Amino acid sequence: AQSVTQLGSHVSVSEGALVLLRCNYSSSVPPYLFWYVQYPNQGLQLLLKYTSAATLVKGINGFEAEFKKSETSFHLTKPSAHMSDAAEYFCAVSDPNTGGFKTIFGAGTRLFVKA
C-alpha cells in the first residue's frame, strides 16, 4: 500500500524567505508524486508533478520539488515566499502501475507568510 507523510501541519515563514514543505512517501515502486495547493473554500490546483522523468520538477508560481529515491522524499521549495503563497499544500502519491488511477493525499501543510 502507498502512503504519504507531510512533516509539519503548519509552517510559518517571512515574506522573501525560503519555503520548504516536506513530504515523504512509501511505495514499493517509484510512484507518481504531486503537490497541490488549496486556497480557502476552493478546490485543489496542481503545482507540479513527478512522473519518472527529471528528478527536479519545476512548477507554477516559482515552486519546485526534487524526487529523492534514496530518501523517499519529494519536498516542495520556493526561494522567496510571497504573501499570496499563504494556503494549504497537499502532497499526493499515485501508483503508476495502475495508470495513476487512485491518489492518496497527505494530511496537508498550512503555510503562513508573515509580512
Partner 1 sequence: GAVVSQHPSRVICKSGTSVKIECRSLDFQATTMFWYRQFPKQSLMLMATSNEGSKATYEQGVEKDKFLINHASLTLSTLTVTSAHPEDSSFYICSARKTGDLGGEQYFGPGTRLTVT
Query: Residue numbers of the site for partner 1 (CB under 8 A)?
Result: 32, 34, 36, 41-46, 49, 51, 90, 94, 96, 99-108, 110
**Residue closer to partner 1, measured from CB, 17 or 103:** 103
CB of 97: closest distance to partner 1 in angstroms? 11
59 close to 47: Cβ distance less than 8 angstroms = yes
Q: Cα(59)–Cα(94) distance, rounded to whole angstroms? A: 18
Q: Cα(110)–Cα(87) distance, rounded to whole angstroms? A: 6
CB of 57: closest distance to partner 1 in angstroms? 12
Instruction: Count the Cβ atoms, other than its own, within 10 Å of residue 12.
Output: 13
Question: DSSP state, 96?
Answer: G
**Residue closer to partner 1, measured from CB, 69 or 115:** 69
Q: Cα(60)–Cα(84) distance, rounded to whole angstroms? A: 13
CB of 26: closest distance to partner 1 in angstroms? 16
**Residue closer to partner 1, measured from CB, 62 or 108:** 108
